Each structure stands twice: as C-alpha cells, then as structure tokens.
Amino acid sequence: MSYTPNKTSSRSLRDRARERFANADVPAQGSSGLGEPPNGPLPAPPGLGLGPLVEKVASYWWVELLLGVFWVVIALVVLKFNHASVTTVGILTGLMFLVFAAQQAVLAAVDRRGRWIWAIFSVLLAASGIVALIQPTATFAGFADILGFVFVLIGTMWMVQAFNERPINDLWWLTLISGIMLIVLGFWVRGQFFVVRAYTLLIFTGIWAMTTGIIDIVRAFQIREVGRELGRHSRR
C-alpha cells in the first residue's frame, strides 16, 4: 500500500505557521505595546498652576506705575536746563554705576571661575557710583566730556542687538536705524564745545527718561488688565 501525502493538510499547516509568524510582532488586544504602560497611555500631566502666581504678581502693577511716574518727573527736572538738571544727571549716573556693580556682584557669586574678575569690576563700579553721588556736578562734567564716545558705544550695541533680534523681531530695523543715528550724533558731539555737549547730554537724558516713564506707565496698565482677565477666568 503506497502512501500519498495529503496536500490539503500540509498546505493548511503552512498557512497556520505563516499566520503565527505574521502575528508574532503584533501585540494582543488589551496588552501594552513597547514604551506604553500596561493600562494604556499616560494621562496628561496636570497644569503647573501658574495662573494664581501670575495674578499675584499682576496685583503689584502699581509699582510699575510709580516707576513710570518717577521717570516722567526726572525727565521734567532734567529738561529745565538748570543746576538741578546737572545734579540730577550726576545722581542718575551714580545710581547707574551702583546697579551695574550689583549685577557684577551677582555674576561673581554665580560664576565660580571668573568670580575675581567680576568682583573687581563690582568694586570699581561701586566706587565710581559713590564718587558720582558725592560729586554729581563733577560727574556730569566728566560725562559730558566723553559723551561722543558713549554715544558711539551705545549706538554700536544697538546695531548688534538689532541684527541679533532680526529672526524674532519684525521691527529690528528701528533699533538698527536708532543705532546708526546715535553713532552719527556721537561723532558730531565730539567736535562741539563743552556747552553744546552739556546741553546734548541733558536733552538726551530727558528724552530717554520721558520715554522710559511713558513705556512703564503703559506697561503698568497692561499688567493690571492681565491680572483682571486671570481673575475673571479663575471665578468661572
């Protein structure tokens, strides 16, 4: 009796084997895939709860308003072009040096490697600020003498800032034009007499203080509006 293989059964065995290999990489229904938790995807993380914090900060909008009013008053005093204007500019210069000294002190505390360099600059700036506060009139005269160099330096910084902000700021060209104009003004001031440099310094300081005050006042009301919006959303 001869044996004849059953082609149907052998073909079905091959099909079953292929199905097993084809379904080997597919996770069963209800089981977790690679990188997923057993019970499905992770739930969304809860919010960071920054709303109350921002609302709390926005409640101090009046501090920004007072700063704006302060700068407007400073601008009005400076633009009187009298001895009080000269003294005010000298005092502002001293305060500016003290702020820079505080910044260098913070850098000295953060940067372990270069802390001695930052500390030296902090001491020098603090000493300059104290001297400027003690002798504001002499500080104004010295500042007026180097006004052209200061304008050129600030204009160069504004130009570099404009090119750095070009990818994210559509109005970068305004900063660029301001920097170019300030550099031109710096070269012009260098060739003028001391009286012209002194009045130029007063005008520049007055306009800067007035602009800063107006911006701070507008920003204060914007902060107040943000706080009110957050308060309305929290009550819903």
- Is residue 85 pLDDT above 60, yes or no? yes
Query: Domain for residue 108, yes or no?
Result: yes
Per-residue pLDDT tens for 104-116? 888 888 877 878 9
Residues 65 and 217: their CA atoms lie apart, in Å, by: 5
Which of 183, 203, 189 has the alpha carbon at shortest distance from 148?
189
Signed CA dihedral, 111, 115, 120, 124: sign only: positive
Query: Domain for residue 115, yes or no?
Result: yes
Query: Domain for residue 154, yes or no?
Result: no
Query: Domain for residue 141, yes or no?
Result: yes
- The domain tally of the chain equals 1
Per-residue pLDDT tens for 191-228? 888 888 899 999 988 998 999 899 999 989 988 888 88
Of the CA atoms within 13 Å of residue 38, those in its CB half-sphere come to 0
The model's pTM:
0.64
How confident is the model at residue 169, as a pLDDT?
A: 78
Angle (CA) 213 216 217, round 5°: 85
The answer to whether 108 touches 125, Cβ cutoff 8 Å, is no
Confidence bin at 14 (pLDDT 50/70/90): low
The amino acid at residue 109 is A
- Is residue 44 pLDDT above 60, yes or no? no
How confident is the model at residue 38, as a pLDDT?
A: 46
How confident is the model at residue 112, as a pLDDT?
A: 79
How confident is the model at residue 16, as a pLDDT?
A: 63
The answer to whether 62 touches 220, Cβ cutoff 8 Å, is yes
How confident is the model at residue 72, as a pLDDT?
A: 94
Q: What residue numbers bound the domain in which 109 lies?
A: 66-145+192-235
Query: Domain for residue 105, yes or no?
Result: yes
Which of 103, 105, 78, 81 has the alpha carbon at shortest distance from 89?
78
Min mean pLDDT across 3-12, 76-85, 211-220 is at: 3-12
| Mean pLDDT value across residues 169-194 | 89
Query: Domain for residue 36, yes or no?
Result: no
Query: Domain for residue 200, yes or no?
Result: yes
Query: Domain for residue 30, yes or no?
Result: no
How confident is the model at residue 50, as a pLDDT?
A: 66
Which of 131 and 171 is assigned the larger pLDDT? 131
Rounded to the nearest 5°, which phi and psi values hold at 28? -65, 155
